[in-house]
Amino acid sequence: MRLPAGPVVALALGALVGLAHAGSPMHPDVPLLDTEGNRVLETGKPVSPVRTCGQCHDAEFIEGHDFHATLGFDERKAPGTVPGGRPWDTSAGPFGRWDPATNRRLALGDETSFDLGVADWIRTVGLRHVGGGPARLGESGKPLGSESGSLPETHALDAATGRPVRWDWAASGTVELNCFLCHVAGARDDARRATLAAGRFEWAATATLAGTGLVAPAADGTYAYVREAFTRWGATDRTRMPLGRPTAAACGACHLDVVEGPVPVGAVEAARPRDPRSGGQVFSAQRVSDSAWNLRDKERRTHVFDVHAERLVGCTDCHHSLNDPARFVEADVSRPRHLAYDARRASVGEFVRRPSHDLAKGTSSRPHAASALDGTMRRCDACHDVLEDHGRWLPSARRHAQALSCEACHVPEVPAAAVAQTDWTVLDAAGRPMVAWRGVSGPVDDPASLVTGYQPVLLPRKESDGRTRLVPHTLETTWTWWGGSPERPVRPFDLRAALLAGPGVHHRDVLAALDVDRDGSLDPSELRLDAPAKVAAVRARLEAVGIERPRIVGTIEPTGLHHGIVSREATRSCEACHADGSLLARPFEVARYVPSGATTELVADARVWLAGRLVAGADGSLVYEPSPKEAGRYVLGHDDAGWIDRLGLLLLVGTALGVAGHAAARALAARRARRSS
């Protein structure tokens, strides 16, 4: 097969740029150690980042101050007691919170419908986990596998039977906090993920170094060390393993679409963003018109994806360490009112020894891990003098800033595709849910599909300064079956057992109900439960595999859009909001279709709310119609005065008709008088 030269060259350049990232010139070369503290060159065992980096840094402190490691593990509560959570949620973070879109759920200790054990969690949800925390320790605080823990800690789901089977932690090892993933330029996340998915947990950090030349894959799926690539005294070579502060690309391994270097956005991933759950946000200094996506009006979009990226503002400039002596400013929520600036700072040495990995964060629209740190990130107005700039041209600039988030105008559209709906009520022949996208016409995996982008919906959100502002969001709806006693989301395993007769084949009852064109297979347009008979057929199948009282539940989850900031292209026209077609009231499609008889509501623990109503669209879609008034915003030029306008109009028209009648009567009387005289 002949590969197209352009993308190959671009990829090669990108790889070179990635590797050429020098890291910090201050950082010394280090010997790689295993968990016993011995040099891996001598033992051949997996690298222990905690031991290796712990030679200089306080790794225990770091792991204890890193919400990327805990992901809710340290905030676990008894099921049913998580504020706003579901009866089976045990935390607000990914470790314990059911994610409707993936429909995977960490098993509770005593239940029979076992979905994810901790080992399963590591191999699925945990692919986006940096390691440490629940991937290393059990609830007792001791390493996983060191003693008999709860069922989810000791067992994993057997893909064949759907029952828990004991997991061999001694063979898999645990996942240490993987310092290399973020701090080594050119870290190989793909190799790390593959190792995790294969269950070789203790090799995950070593696999991360696959691109450095220090390690080479072995035939048994582990890694061997390349002696020649190390320095004479057995340390890493900084040209091969540059260590430094995390790059934006490192963050992009799990968050958003972060693209650095010359490889065009979309060169690798067709019309599909790399992170489908990010709402299509792209953090890149590239021009939108230079992307590889087949974008509508592409030649007109000459602005960059994100102006902060263009101006060399990196992720860690805003999401910095909370004890970084150069950046830390105590958030308004916790700062004593009299204290404008806390002069007490950690010294550089103290910071290097013990850098907190709890990063400054904003207030997310959905609860997440470490919500106690919400609002610790500086807001836009901490860097930008909004009134100084906007006050020159924007009437009532202060009032606008109090009512709208900066992103409301500075993220006027998302020039990418984003997931609009995930439907777990049916599965395709491969056992996957049906996913509908917004911002793209045509299959999202087809590079020829036209990416139209989409305009966000503005939702009211109470922010860390106590004010409620309208913030741009995308909304993603997930349809899932719930059932059983006590009620739980139906596991993907049970869905496959109910809907599929075997690999690639739907069960005949499902086929009979859904195969509208009777061609013996179900195409995407047929895979939807849009009629009571179809719902009944699938429900019967679920009951046949033992699910009691299955019902369809729709969950709408908001995702705030805070990246993809534009400057000159921001919304500036008054009429964009102060007119009939105000974007503040622009309808937003929430779901492509509604399964028959299903109800939908915003996820209960969201920090935004739907100030408006959900209505059925003419095409069967579910549409959210925002109401600025319900959001506490009276918008001149858009909102009317209700009954007062109707009364006033009646008064005016009535008066006009009255005087017209009176005038006509006068004219008639005058005419009669003239005739009689």
Partner 1 sequence: MSGVERVKIYSGYERLWHWVQAGSVMVLLATGLEVRGVVSVLGFRGAVRLHEVMGFFLIGNAFLGLFYFLTSGAIRQYVAAPRDFATLAVRQVLYYARGIFRGEPHPVERTPRARLNPLQKIVYVGILNVLLPLQILTGLAIWGLERWPGVERAVGGLDVLVPVHALGSWLFATFVVAHVYLTTTAGRRPLSGIRAMVTGWDEVEPHPAPTGKEVTP
Binding site for partner 1 (CB under 8 A): 395-399, 574-575, 578-580, 629, 632, 634, 636-642, 644-645, 647-649, 651-652, 655-656, 659, 662-663, 665-666, 669, 673
Residue 524 or 632 having the CB closest to partner 1: 632
Residue 194 or 570 having the CB closest to partner 1: 570
CB of 81 to partner 1, least distance (A): 37
Residue 427 CA to residue 527 CA, distance in Å, equals 7
CB of 636 to partner 1, least distance (A): 6
Question: Using H for helix, E for strand and C for coil, what is the string for 547-575?
Answer: CCCCEEEEEEEEEECCCCCCCCCCCCCHH
Residue 249 or 401 having the CB closest to partner 1: 401
CB of 580 to partner 1, least distance (A): 6
Question: What is the SS3 assignment for 674?
Answer: helix
Name the nearest CA neighbour of 76 among 113, 114, 121. 121
**How many other C-beta atoms can be found within 10 angstroms of the C-beta atom of residue 535?**
20
Backbone region of residue 431 per phi and psi (left: phi > 0; alpha: psi in -120 to 50; beta: other values): left
CB of 177 to partner 1, least distance (A): 48
Residue 348 or 664 having the CB closest to partner 1: 664
Burial degree of 565 (CB within 10 A; 0-12, 13-18, 19+): buried
CB of 300 to partner 1, least distance (A): 23
Residue 228 or 385 having the CB closest to partner 1: 385
Residue 36 or 580 having the CB closest to partner 1: 580
Residue 507 or 638 having the CB closest to partner 1: 638
Residue 336 or 642 having the CB closest to partner 1: 642
Residue 638 CA to residue 633 CA, distance in Å, equals 11
DSSP string, 80-136: T-STT--TT---SSTTTS-BTTTTB-BPPTT-SS--B-HHHHHHTGGGG--SSGGGT
Question: What is the SS3 assignment for 197?
Answer: helix
CB of 632 to partner 1, least distance (A): 8
Backbone region of residue 597 per phi and psi (left: phi > 0; alpha: psi in -120 to 50; beta: other values): left
Residue 341 or 643 having the CB closest to partner 1: 643
Residue 463 or 543 having the CB closest to partner 1: 463
Burial degree of 327 (CB within 10 A; 0-12, 13-18, 19+): middle
DSSP string, 574-610: GGGTSSTT-GGG--EEEES---TT-EEEE-TT-SB--
Residue 83 CA to residue 64 CA, distance in Å, equals 24
- Using CA atoms, how far residue 631 sits from 573, 625, 634, 650, in Å, is 21, 12, 9, 29
Q: In this structure, which amino acid lies at residue 175?
A: V
Residue 30 or 397 having the CB closest to partner 1: 397
CB of 571 to partner 1, least distance (A): 13
Burial degree of 592 (CB within 10 A; 0-12, 13-18, 19+): buried
| Phi and psi at residue 468, to the nearest 5° | -100, 120
CB of 402 to partner 1, least distance (A): 8
CB of 370 to partner 1, least distance (A): 34
CB of 399 to partner 1, least distance (A): 5
Burial degree of 41 (CB within 10 A; 0-12, 13-18, 19+): middle
Long-range contacts of 522-527 (CB under 8 A, 24+ apart): 522/428, 522/429, 524/428, 524/434, 527/423, 527/426, 527/427, 527/428, 527/434
CB of 458 to partner 1, least distance (A): 17
Residue 262 or 391 having the CB closest to partner 1: 391
CB of 407 to partner 1, least distance (A): 21
Residue 342 structure tokens = 């806390």
CB of 18 to partner 1, least distance (A): 47
- Judge whether 315 and 352 are in contact, CB under 8 Å: no
Signed CA dihedral, 223, 228, 232, 237: sign only: negative
Residue 72 or 626 having the CB closest to partner 1: 626
Alpha carbon distance, N-terminus to C-terminus of the chain: 108
Residue 352 or 387 having the CB closest to partner 1: 387
CB of 578 to partner 1, least distance (A): 4
Q: Which residues of 421-432 are buried (b: 16+ CB within 10 A; e: fewer)?
A: bbbbbbbbeeee
CB of 629 to partner 1, least distance (A): 7
DSSP string, 248-297: HHHHHTTSSEEE-SSSPTTTTTTTS-S-GGGTT-EEESSBGGGSSS-BTT
CB of 583 to partner 1, least distance (A): 13
Q: In this structure, which amino acid lies at residue 185?
A: A
Residue 260 CA to residue 59 CA, distance in Å, equals 29
- Using CA atoms, how far residue 500 sits from 1, 496, 516, in Å, is 35, 5, 18
Position of tokens 């800033």?
A: 401
Residue 335 or 399 having the CB closest to partner 1: 399
Residue 300 or 672 having the CB closest to partner 1: 672
